[in-house]
């Protein structure tokens, strides 16, 4: 039998490695930005076209490369950042695997321009699919410029798996923010399709956070600072009243490297115990500094997961530090052990003077203890008012009558399947009888389905009605959010929104859909931006669909809302007029039916 195991050609091996290193344009952005930082750059520019699919270019003013280094940088496992295995446990740089440039060059057209300060001329190398097309000496400034064009040009299947430009841009912005927040001392510039998205000057940590997330962030921040032998912790947490429904602005950095850690996140959330509403998540920007030999950052290809030597100690210190800062800045209540608890005022006490009602005593002037009927019945000169039972009796009567009505409706088979009188249960469900039994409807999910189909029809079929605002509403956003809103501006206008002005940090709205109230504008747009991050499959209708789902979720009747009989009946009728009444826009059942046989079995078991 002939041998069947063979060594893979270099270009195939590089494409396989690229599958691990480069999942999408954001992966390329991350690798190139980190290389620029490791080169000692103080000014870095990121230029994008078509969400990175057409062009990703990073220009830095770092130390540059020699001609030999420029050529070697595209070889597999070529790196200047480690020499031996032990170096993996004492890392102070970003990229060190030595596969980034080789993997990128295998699936794109790459042009590298680089020059060291001591050299008169620089080097320009052009590569297409791992093949070097040209190498020349050029006149260029100190530093390095890498342009990655036509990503996945030779792997169309991978290119087809990319999402819409809006989603891919969001991923790029996420990576850019992580790098920019980790290095406030470096100036960053980001352009997308010739539009400036970020222009970040070299600054301190607080100013960098405010520059990235908008001026309103400044008032939300509570400083954190603690230095111990094991770990140094600094940064900021947002005040509890600015918590969010989504896990968005949560950043951990360890030795200037962004990481994800559910364990450390739990420590921060624990520190906010009792301060957050149910379902809310705190925002934080926390920077941990630990000895390099106490962490292992080579356990995941993207290097966003880290293994700590002493996780439990870090958890305790982080939780205590955050809790202390919240108390120190009067955000959280602090125990005072010198206080006399006996002098505390009950929470329900009102400082205003209160008048105490005097007990009423009525005397019977005709009372005579020597009358004969006194022997038959015990009398007292004081009359006590007997409790009135009329209301109790009427209560039981109404319940009995209601039960009779329910039973008569339950077994009424005179009509076809049609909604009858409805009953609201726990302000969450609607119960209605049908010919075959009863139907139990989730009021919130049912209303989501109704609104979803209405919005989708308004956006795609009808000409949406818009109501003009008497006073235009100006809403502040981050540069990234402004970019996202601008990309779906046409779809929003089709839905009934009308915009007056776009700036770098705000949007002015002068018209909204008829079904939307002015107080809901901010909530709707925030939910919409979050939903776009969920990577809806790319299709011609994707933005419309996401928008309709987001609007329906935000504006739907919530659990706990009391509905009148008319509102209940309207909701039921509207639901069963929908094209797909049985499921919500998110695939959850809107109602469940219980047949008479199933009801009978409940009592026969």
CA distance 75 to 80: 12
Q: Do 148 and 217 sit in the same domain of this protein?
A: no
Q: How many domains does the chain have?
A: 3
pLDDT band at 420 (very low <50, low <70, confident <90, very high): low
Residues 6 or more apart whose CB falls under 8 angstroms from that of 260 comprise 252, 304, 305
Q: Do 71 and 123 sit in the same domain of this protein?
A: yes
User: Does any domain span residue 4?
Assistant: no
CA distance 38 to 22: 19
pLDDT of 334 > 70? The answer is no
User: Does any domain span residue 51?
Assistant: yes
CATH number of the domain encompassing residue 314? 3.30.230.10
CB 231 within 8 A of CB 288: yes
pLDDT of 501 > 70? The answer is yes
User: Does any domain span residue 75?
Assistant: yes
CA distance 231 to 225: 11
How deeply is 190 buried, as exposed, middle or buried, from its count of CB atoms within 10 A (0-12, 13-18, 19+)? buried
CATH number of the domain encompassing residue 144? 3.30.565.10
CA distance 419 to 432: 6
Higher per-residue pLDDT: 539 or 75: 75
User: Does any domain span residue 462?
Assistant: yes
For residue 362, what pLDDT is reported?
60
CB 66 within 8 A of CB 119: yes
Higher per-residue pLDDT: 537 or 479: 479
User: Does any domain span residue 363?
Assistant: no
pLDDT of 143 > 80? The answer is yes
Q: Do 133 and 50 sit in the same domain of this protein?
A: yes
Q: Do 482 and 573 sit in the same domain of this protein?
A: yes
Q: Where are the alpha helices (DSSP H) in 248-345?
A: 262-271, 311-328
Q: What mean pLDDT comes out for the span 431-443? A: 84
Q: How far is CA 445 from the centre of its chain?
A: 21
Q: What mean pLDDT comes out for the span 460-486? A: 79
Q: Do 114 and 250 sit in the same domain of this protein?
A: no
For residue 79, what pLDDT is reported?
62
pLDDT band at 487 (very low <50, low <70, confident <90, very high): confident
For residue 380, what pLDDT is reported?
43
Q: Which of 527, 528, 532, 492 is nearest to 513 (CA)?
A: 492
For residue 91, what pLDDT is reported?
55
Of the residues 280, 309, 328, the one at which a domain ends: 328
User: Does any domain span residue 5?
Assistant: no
Q: Do 193 and 236 sit in the same domain of this protein?
A: no
Higher per-residue pLDDT: 83 or 211: 211
Q: For 185-211, write each residue's pLDDT tens digit.
A: 999 999 999 889 999 999 999 999 999
Q: Do 491 and 601 sit in the same domain of this protein?
A: yes
Q: What mean pLDDT comes out for the span 447-471? A: 79
pLDDT band at 14 (very low <50, low <70, confident <90, very high): low
For residue 537, what pLDDT is reported?
42
CA distance 259 to 366: 89
- In SS3 terms, 367-400 reads as CCCCCCHHHHCCCCCECCCCCCCHHHHHHHHHHH
User: Does any domain span residue 367?
Assistant: no
Q: Which helix (H) or strand (E) holds 135?
A: strand 131-138
Per the structure, the complete domain to which residue 237 belongs is given by 207-328
Q: Where are the alpha helices (DSSP H) in 411-520?
A: 443-460, 479-487, 489-495
Q: Do 26 and 173 sit in the same domain of this protein?
A: yes
CA distance 257 to 288: 9
Q: Do 29 and 167 sit in the same domain of this protein?
A: yes
Q: What mean pLDDT comes out for the span 176-190? A: 95
For residue 586, what pLDDT is reported?
83
pLDDT band at 136 (very low <50, low <70, confident <90, very high): very high
pLDDT of 57 > 90? The answer is yes
% of residues, the chain, pLDDT over 70: 74
CA distance 391 to 26: 69
Q: Across all residues in the chain, what is the average pLDDT?
A: 78
Lowest-confidence segment of 208-222, 307-321, 515-529, 557-571 by average pLDDT: 515-529
Q: What mean pLDDT comes out for the span 507-535? A: 78
pLDDT of 460 > 80? The answer is no
CA distance 484 to 534: 13
For residue 207, what pLDDT is reported?
94
Q: What is the DSSP string of 245-258?
A: SSS-SEEEEETTEE
pLDDT of 54 > 60? The answer is yes
The single-letter DSSP state of residue 154 is T
Q: Do 132 and 225 sit in the same domain of this protein?
A: no
For residue 262, what pLDDT is reported?
86
Lowest-confidence segment of 67-81, 298-312, 337-351 by average pLDDT: 337-351
Higher per-residue pLDDT: 6 or 56: 56
Coil, strand or helix at 182:
helix
pLDDT of 385 > 60? The answer is no
Q: For 205-262, write each residue's pLDDT tens digit.
A: 999 999 998 888 888 899 999 998 888 999 999 998 888 777 778 999 998 889 888 8
Higher per-residue pLDDT: 403 or 169: 169
For residue 539, what pLDDT is reported?
37
CB 78 within 8 A of CB 10: no
Pairing between β-strand 250-254 and β-strand 257-259 as defined by DSSP bridges: antiparallel
% of residues, the chain, pLDDT over 90: 25
Alpha-carbon distance values, 316 to 167, 230, 264 (Å): 37, 12, 9
pLDDT band at 328 (very low <50, low <70, confident <90, very high): confident
For residue 542, what pLDDT is reported?
56
Vertex 512, ends 511 and 516: CA angle to 5°?
Answer: 155
Q: Do 139 and 36 sit in the same domain of this protein?
A: yes
Lowest-confidence segment of 11-25, 493-507, 560-574 by average pLDDT: 11-25
CB 186 within 8 A of CB 34: no
CA distance 155 to 350: 73
Higher per-residue pLDDT: 1 or 151: 151
User: Does any domain span residue 373?
Assistant: no
pLDDT of 44 > 70? The answer is yes
Q: How far is CA 542 from the centre of its chain?
A: 19
Q: Do 99 and 135 sit in the same domain of this protein?
A: yes
For residue 340, what pLDDT is reported?
46
Of the residues 282, 313, 328, the one at which a domain ends: 328
Of the residues 278, 312, 328, the one at which a domain ends: 328
Q: What mean pLDDT comes out for the span 339-357? A: 44
For residue 395, what pLDDT is reported?
40
> Strands across the sheet with 257-259, in order?
221-227, 232-238, 284-289, 250-254, 257-259
């Amino acid at each position: 039998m002939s041998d069947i195991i063979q060594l893979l050609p270099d270009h195939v091996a590089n494409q396989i490695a690229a599958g691990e290193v480069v999942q999408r344009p954001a992966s390329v952005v991350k690798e190139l930005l980190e290389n620029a930082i490791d080169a000692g750059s103080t000014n870095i520019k990121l230029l994008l076209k078509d969400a990175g699919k057409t062009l990703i270019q990073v220009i830095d003013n770092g130390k540059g490369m020699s001609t030999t280094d420029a050529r070697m940088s595209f070889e597999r496992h070529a790196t200047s950042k480690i020499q031996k295995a032990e170096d993996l446990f004492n890392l102070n740089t970003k990229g060190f695997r030595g596969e980034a440039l080789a993997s990128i060059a295998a699936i794109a057209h790459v042009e590298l321009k680089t020059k060291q300060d001591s050299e008169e001329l620089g080097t320009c190398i052009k590569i297409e699919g791992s093949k070097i097309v040209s190498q020349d000496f050029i006149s260029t400034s100190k530093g390095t410029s890498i342009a990655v064009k036509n990503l996945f040009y030779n792997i169309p299947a991978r290119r087809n798996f990319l999402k819409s430009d809006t989603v891919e841009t969001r991923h790029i912005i996420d990576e850019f923010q992580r790098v920019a927040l980790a290095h406030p001392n470096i100036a960053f510039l980001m352009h997308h399709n010739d539009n400036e998205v970020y222009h970040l000057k070299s600054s301190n940590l607080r100013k960098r956070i405010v520059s990235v997330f908008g001026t309103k962030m400044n008032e939300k921040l509570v400083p954190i600072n603690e230095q111990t032998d094991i770990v140094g912790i600094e940064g900021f947490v947002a005040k509890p009243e600015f918590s969010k429904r989504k896990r968005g602005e949560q950043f951990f950095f360890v030795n200037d490297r962004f990481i994800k850690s559910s364990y450390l996140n739990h420590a921060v959330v624990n520190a906010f115990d009792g301060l957050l509403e149910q379902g809310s998540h705190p925002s934080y920007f926390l920077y941990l500094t630990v000895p390099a030999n106490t962490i292992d950052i080579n356990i995941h290809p993207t290097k966003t997961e880290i293994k700590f030597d002493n996780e439990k100690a870090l958890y305790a210190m982080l939780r205590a530090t955050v809790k202390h800062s919240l108390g120190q800045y009067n955000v959280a209540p602090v125990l005072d052990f010198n206080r006399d608890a006996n002098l505390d005022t009950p929470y329900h006490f009102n400082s205003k003077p209160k008048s105490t009602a005097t007990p009423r005593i009525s005397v019977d002037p005709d009372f005579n203890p020597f009358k004969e009927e006194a022997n038959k019945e015990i009398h007292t000169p004081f009359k006590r008012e007997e409790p009135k039972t009329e209301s109790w009796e009427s209560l039981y009567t109404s319940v009995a009558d209601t039960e009779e009505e329910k039973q008569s409706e339950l077994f009424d088979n005179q009509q076809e399947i049609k909604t009858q009188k409805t009953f609201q249960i726990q302000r969450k469900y609607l119960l209605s009888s049908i010919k075959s039994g009863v139907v139990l409807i989730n009021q919130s999910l049912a209303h989501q389905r109704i609104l979803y189909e209405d919005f989708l029809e308004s956006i795609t079929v009808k000409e949406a009605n818009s109501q003009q605002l008497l006073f235009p509403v100006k809403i502040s956003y981050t540069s990234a959010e402004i970019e996202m809103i601008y990309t779906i501006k046409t779809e929003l206008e089709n839905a009934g929104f009308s915009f007056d002005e776009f700036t770098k940090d705000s949007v002015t709205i002068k018209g909204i859909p008829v079904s939307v109230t002015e107080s809901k504008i901010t909530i709707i747009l925030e939910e919409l931006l979050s939903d776009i991050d969920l990577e809806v499959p790319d299709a011609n209708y994707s933005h419309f669909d996401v928008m309709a789902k987001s609007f329906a979720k935000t504006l739907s009747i919530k659990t706990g809302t009391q509905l009148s009989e008319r509102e209940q009946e309207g909701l039921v009728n509207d639901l069963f007029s929908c094209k797909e009444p049985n499921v919500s826009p998110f695939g959850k059942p809107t109602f469940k039916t219980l047949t008479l046989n199933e009801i009978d079995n409940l009592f026969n078991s």
